[in-house]
Amino acid sequence: MYLSRCALRSIGKSLTRSFFRKSSEKVEEFNGGLFGNELLKSPYDFTELNKRVRSACSSIVKQIENGREDRTIVKLFDDLSNEICRAADLVECVRQLHSDPAYSEAAEESARDFCELVESLEKKQYGLDTTRISSPSSHSSLQKKRKFVYTTFYKHDHAQEDELRTLVLCRDKLARLTGFESFSHRAQGNSLLGTYENAQEFLWGVIEACRPSAERELAILMDVQGQCEQNAEYSIGEWDVHFLTHLYKERGVKLSSENITTLFSNIYLSYIFNYFSFMLFKITFRQPCFFQLEDGSWQTPIVVLSLSLTDRPLSEWKSLRLGFHSAENLFHELGHAMHSMLGRTRYQHVAGTRCPQDFSEIPSNLMEYFFNDLSVMRSVLRNVDGDCISVEDAACLISSRFAFSSLEIMQQASYALFDLELHGPNACQLLRDGRITTTQLFHSIANKALPHLQRQSDSAFQHRKMQSHGGGLPSSLLLSNMLGYSPTANHLIEALGAESNHLANLDAVDV
């Protein structure tokens, strides 16, 4: 799965020129309904849309219950999903992006009705309380304060432990009831590596391969810590990593957002995008995302990219000045959008990004690699004078972007390994007998992965033809078709190890 930067660089210039070349097509005037839907010509039409969707869903549910000779149950469930999704995606897009309050408010009511429809189709209501949990503050310049907040927030909680233990043991019981050795064995059946043993070998292999680079990165953070606070402990803890890496990257990036001007100067309407809209919304929080709206031809969607690019009014869209991370976000979301547009699945429910998560991020990550190639970045980003940014500035941006990648890989591998082992045969037996807690299991894995990173023993776990097939085929088969061979755990370990060693070159950033 490893794609070298050399390979990307060899195609970078030609693809970039093709991507940004001028189009001779003209944008046609269109007076139909929203996104070509003749029903939606006014805000009042959303009510009728909901009525039609509910009626269609009711009919499909009756067919599922009574059976239908010419259509299988799987296809009927896909019809039900399609009926809701194609309308709900359109409504959600209008709700978030339409500049007319009448439309956005009507879409808000419509979206609420769709939520009620989906909930009504659920067979069980669990009545669980929803609680919003915020992460602790990790931006304090005082190490003792960071440590206190972090360790207090993530301290082992007996009530949470009981809930998690119950969940894990129920999953284990379900897996054994269906003929699997453990829930991990059951869950890995549809993954890239295919088995629990392969996943275990891969994750420990990644940790071993990335540990040398991660240790070097910890040494860099020790120097940064010494510059920040003279009386700080001569060690790095989990509570320090986020703050110090963020500080290092901020100092390393000599280009500020004001020094990078428009990304869109060479993109022309109707070649890539049919419509640009740069406007300010009353809603302050808006996460980069994309919507796919069916246009009726082979399930190919109209794709809408929604990004937060500016916080001030613009005289014209060409005056937009784009920060480095915003530009990268655009390419990331464009990867997801391309994934959806290239989809040719049998069922819409597994089209595009509706596929296993370990495969859905591949296109967007490839687009990030494409953007972070030196020649591509210099072709896209401009300084305030409209010229390409210098090689030095581009190299500094790229180096800062990938700084401390080994530590991040180690952290994610440890999280994944904890999840794997928690649902594995050995840990479940120990949990059932009350010999260990989930906190102790996580501590043992994290300590073994990075012994020189200080952590509290009672800190609990924090988190948890290719594209045309989408989720219609196993991701392992898609990847083997793309590469020409079936990658083993060792192949993936070598790729990540090589990438980790390459990205660990921190000398390019002058703090």
pLDDT band at 353 (very low <50, low <70, confident <90, very high): low
Mean pLDDT of 184-191: 83
Residue 227 placed within a domain: yes
Q: Which two tokens stand for residue 35?
A: 């996104």
Asked whether the predicted pLDDT for residue 485 surpasses 80, the reply is no
Cβ 361 vs Cβ 332: under 8 Å? no
Q: Per-residue pLDDT tens for 17-41? A: 554 454 444 545 556 678 777 788 8
Residue 294 placed within a domain: yes
In this structure, are 50 and 187 located in the same domain?
Answer: no
Residue 1 placed within a domain: no
pLDDT band at 256 (very low <50, low <70, confident <90, very high): very low
Give bridge partners of residue 273 from the DSSP assignment: 269
pLDDT of residue 177: 92
CA angle 330, 333, 338 (to 5 degrees): 115
In this structure, are 349 and 484 located in the same domain?
Answer: yes
In this structure, are 108 and 175 located in the same domain?
Answer: no
Amino acid at 146: R
Residue 380 placed within a domain: yes
Please give the Cα distance from 181 to 179 (Å, whole number). 7
In this structure, are 220 and 295 located in the same domain?
Answer: yes
In this structure, are 70 and 185 located in the same domain?
Answer: no
In this structure, are 100 and 236 located in the same domain?
Answer: no
3-state secondary structure 339-358: HHHCCCCCCHHHCCCCCCHH
Q: Left (φ > 0), alpha (ψ -120 to 50) or beta: where does 434 sit?
A: left
Residue 12 placed within a domain: no
Please give the Cα distance from 31 to 109 (Å, whole number). 25
- Give which of 20, 22, 27, 25 is closest to 274, Cα–Cα: 27
Its domain, for residue 85, covers 35-127
Sign for the CA dihedral angle at 168, 170, 176, 180 comes to: negative
pLDDT band at 7 (very low <50, low <70, confident <90, very high): very low
Please give the Cα distance from 454 to 239 (Å, whole number). 9
Task: Kindly write down the DSSP assignment for every residue of 149-171, as one continuous string.
Answer: HHHHHTB--HHHHHHHHHHHHHH
SS3 assignment, position 18: helix
Asked whether the predicted pLDDT for residue 271 surpasses 70, the reply is no
Mean pLDDT of 144-163: 82
In this structure, are 170 and 60 located in the same domain?
Answer: no
Cα 104 versus chain centre, distance: 26
Mean pLDDT of 468-490: 63
CATH of the domain at 244: 1.10.1370
Residue 135 placed within a domain: no
In this structure, are 406 and 259 located in the same domain?
Answer: yes
In this structure, are 189 and 250 located in the same domain?
Answer: yes
Mean pLDDT of 39-45: 86
- Looking at residue 137, what DSSP letter applies? P
Q: Per mean pLDDT, which of 17-26, 199-208, 221-230, 400-409 is the most reliable?
A: 199-208
Residue 424 placed within a domain: yes
Instruction: Using the structure block, give the residue that is written with the tokens 């549910």.
Output: 61
In this structure, are 114 and 171 located in the same domain?
Answer: no
Among 183-197, 222-236, 303-317, 379-393, the minimum mean pLDDT is found in 303-317
pLDDT band at 217 (very low <50, low <70, confident <90, very high): confident
Instruction: Using the structure block, give the residue that is written with the tokens 């070349």.
Output: 21
Percent residues over pLDDT 70 in the chain = 63
Please give the Cα distance from 426 to 197 (Å, whole number). 13
Give bridge partners of residue 269 from the DSSP assignment: 273
Amino acid at 469: H
Find the Cα–Cα–Cα–Cα dihedral 311, 314, 318, 323, rounded to 10°.
-20
Q: Left (φ > 0), alpha (ψ -120 to 50) or beta: where does 424 sit?
A: beta
Instruction: Using the structure block, give the residue that is written with the tokens 């931006």.
Output: 139
In this structure, are 201 and 255 located in the same domain?
Answer: yes
Q: Which distant-in-sequence residues (6+ apart) come within 8 Å of 68 by Cβ?
A: 76
Asked whether the predicted pLDDT for residue 418 surpasses 60, the reply is yes
Q: Per mean pLDDT, which of 307-321, 394-408, 452-466, 490-504 is the most reliable?
A: 394-408
pLDDT, greater one: 234 or 171: 171
Q: Which distant-in-sequence residues (6+ apart) come within 8 Å of 17 by Cβ?
A: 379
pLDDT of residue 285: 43
Asked whether the predicted pLDDT for residue 76 surpasses 50, the reply is yes
Query: Into how many domains does the chain fold?
Result: 2
Listed residues 87, 104, 127: the one ending a domain: 127
Please give the Cα distance from 503 to 499 (Å, whole number). 6
Percent residues over pLDDT 90 in the chain = 2
SS3 assignment, position 256: coil
Listed residues 112, 127, 142: the one ending a domain: 127
pLDDT of residue 29: 54
Please give the Cα distance from 78 to 348 (Å, whole number). 7
Q: Which distant-in-sequence residues (6+ apart) come within 8 Å of 145 by Cβ?
A: none
Among 126-135, 173-182, 333-342, 454-463, the minimum mean pLDDT is found in 126-135
Residue 472 placed within a domain: yes
In this structure, are 218 and 93 located in the same domain?
Answer: no
Q: Which distant-in-sequence residues (6+ apart) come within 8 Å of 259 by Cβ?
A: 383, 384, 389, 393
Q: Left (φ > 0), alpha (ψ -120 to 50) or beta: where does 242 sit?
A: alpha
- Give which of 193, 194, 138 is closest to 462, Cα–Cα: 138
Tell me the CA end-to-end span of the chain in Å, nearest whole number: 33
Please give the Cα distance from 219 to 362 (Å, whole number). 31
Listed residues 127, 148, 183: the one ending a domain: 127
Q: Per mean pLDDT, which of 126-135, 321-330, 347-356 is the most reliable?
A: 321-330
Cβ 426 vs Cβ 168: under 8 Å? no
Please give the Cα distance from 325 to 307 (Å, whole number). 11
